Structure 1
Amino acid sequence: MRFSVFTASTPEWTPAEAARELAAQGWDGVEWRVTDQADAAAPGFWAGNRATWPLTGLESKLPEIAEVTRGAGLDFSAVGAYVPCGDHDDVERVLAATAALGAGRVRITMPKLGPAPYPELFAAARTDLEWAAGRASAHGVTALVELHHGTVAASASAALRLVDGLDPARVAVIHDVGNLIHEGHEDHRSAFELLGPYLAHVHVKNVAWRPVGTRPDGSTAWAADWAPLREGQADLGAYFAALRAVGYTGWVTVEDFSTALPLAERTRDNLAYLRTLAG
């Protein structure tokens, strides 16, 4: 397995700082966050993130992205774009950018739940992915569907229904163990076996559910929060054992949104931990 970091989780670093620090720590690659984001008074995961490349004007930034990445000795694990699958113009742009970078794969996002009925959202996403498969083939890259709570692809089973019958070299799946703590958990080995050739990429983070109060009916109210890799409810030891059991040797990208440790210490410790899990 090869290890990379998704830069949504490194908001305090500029791209050059992120690449330099991750390379020095021994990471194999980086998954750049690409989106137009809101400004913020202080760097945050989702706004004011300094390690994010803007979607607006992305094409003009491609030489710099390539130089920052490969100049540090890192590979691209993928491109972490936030373009909805129904936005064909921008999907075309990020597919082309991924090809130009030689990054191989790019995430495109699936519809969020509601207010339209689920079958309508799902059918539209399938139609969009059929189109994306053709465009990905033209560019020689792969469009990735991430398992994500609150979307039409929250589980491996749902994602397989979306991509089944499409060329797995052109449309495939990111299995995300942390998102499955929110919604969509299935036995990991069974999910990997179910996805088969569509299992193209892995995201790792961790989440803990904690009591946050009492509901009007007297029952306990719970909320999910990000947790350090060792401390959340996802059993990462069992997760990596299942990956090894199915022969997965691809990229594992960390997106740790916990803040218990300073950023540099957090990324360094995560790599050491993942290496012990991978065996």
Structure 2
Amino acid sequence: MKLSVFTVMVPDLTPSELLPLLKENGYDAVEWRYKSIDPQFEQENFSFWRNNFCTIQPNWKSEELLKLRKETEKLGIETLSVTPYLTCGDLEATEDVLKKAKLLGANMIRIGVPRYDGALPFSDLLQQAKRYVKEVEELCKQYQIKGLVETHHQTIAPSASLALRLVEESNPDHIGVLYDPGNMVHEGYEDYRMGIAMLGSYLAHVHAKNAAYFSKEQEGIKKWQGKWVRIDRGIVDWVEVMNALKESGYQGYVGMEDFSETFPSKEALAFNAQYLKSFVE
């Protein structure tokens, strides 16, 4: 297994500032966050999901993307993925991301999954998602880039088994699953070995982070909520997860995505690399 970083976790660093730090800390690849930044957010302090400096924006020109690719390759860092926030069914936006990913030399993109809030029947959302995945599969085959469904809370695919329902009719050469145990603290927990075994050849990538439950009183009732914590302090047993990955024969990447804010970005890169290397080396 090798290590990558999803750039959402380093919002105060520019891509050019990040790349040497990846090399310095022994990361093998980068996963570029891809999203427009609303002009009103640009006046704010940096943040993971609003004013994130380490983001590729859809309006970037080909020349800018090729320059970034050259910087990345010069340092021996692989561009593993381009990771957008796509809407399920939006094939035009999906193909645009694939085009940008091709220019950057990326191997994967994250594709859209319907959110679940109870407003629409699950069965309708599932059929919508499966149609979209099959259409995306053809695009991914054309661009030779794999499309990933991420296990994510508040969507119809919070677990390995539900993600599998979206991809199981597709060719795993073109469509796979991004397995995220940290997200599954919030929703979708299943036994790690079972989930990894269930996904089989559809297991294309893994994200590493952690969360824990915290409570507060509301009108005399204790309410529990999942919050991000550093990777060695949460509910996810990463020793168990990494052992399960090894037993399955997984040879892919483990991508760091630390939202705990325990350390500043540079320290977070160093700490998490050291922690994960204890498993992969």
> TM-score, structure 1 length as denominator?
0.95
In the other structure, the counterpart of 1:85 is: 88
Change in CA separation of 1:5 and 1:46 when aligned onto 2, cut-off 3 Å: same
User: Are 1:119 and 2:131 matched, yes or no?
Assistant: no
User: Are 1:96 and 2:99 matched, yes or no?
Assistant: yes
> TM-score, structure 2 length as denominator?
0.95
User: Are 1:24 and 2:24 matched, yes or no?
Assistant: yes
Cα distance between partner residues in 1 of 2:59 and 2:100: 12
In the other structure, the counterpart of 2:169 is: 165
Whether contact under 8 Å (2:62, 2:103) holds in the other structure is no
Whether contact under 8 Å (1:15, 1:68) holds in the other structure is no
Whether contact under 8 Å (2:66, 2:103) holds in the other structure is no
Q: How many residues align?
A: 277
Cα distance between partner residues in 2 of 1:144 and 1:161: 13
User: Are 1:106 and 2:91 matched, yes or no?
Assistant: no
In the other structure, the counterpart of 2:228 is: 226
Amino acid at match of 2:183: N
Change in CA separation of 1:91 and 1:58 when aligned onto 2, cut-off 3 Å: farther
In the other structure, the counterpart of 1:242 is: 244
Amino acid at match of 1:222: W
Amino acid at match of 1:157: S
In the other structure, the counterpart of 2:204 is: 200
Superposed CA RMSD: 1.4
In the other structure, the counterpart of 1:36 is: 36
Whether contact under 8 Å (1:77, 1:253) holds in the other structure is no
Deviation for aligned residue 1:59: 4.1
Amino acid at match of 1:48: N
User: Are 1:181 and 2:185 matched, yes or no?
Assistant: yes
Deviation for aligned residue 1:255: 0.4
Partner-residue secondary structure (3-state), 1:106: strand
Which of structure 1's runs of 4+ aligned residues deviate more than 6 A?
none
Deviation for aligned residue 1:58: 5.5
For residue 151 of structure 2, the aligned residue among 147, 154, 157 is 147
For residue 212 of structure 1, the aligned residue among 216, 238, 243 is 216
Cα distance between partner residues in 2 of 1:95 and 1:67: 18
Cα distance between partner residues in 2 of 1:139 and 1:85: 19
Whether contact under 8 Å (2:5, 2:255) holds in the other structure is yes
For structure 2, the residue ranges without an aligned partner over 5 or more in a row are none
Whether contact under 8 Å (1:213, 1:220) holds in the other structure is yes
In the other structure, the counterpart of 1:267 is: 269
1:58-77 aligned within 5 A: 59-77=62-80
Deviation for aligned residue 1:258: 1.1
Partner-residue secondary structure (3-state), 2:130: helix
Whether contact under 8 Å (2:231, 2:258) holds in the other structure is yes
Cα distance between partner residues in 1 of 2:20 and 2:143: 29
Q: Percent identity?
A: 35
For structure 1, the residue ranges without an aligned partner over 5 or more in a row are none
For residue 57 of structure 2, the aligned residue among 21, 36, 54 is 54
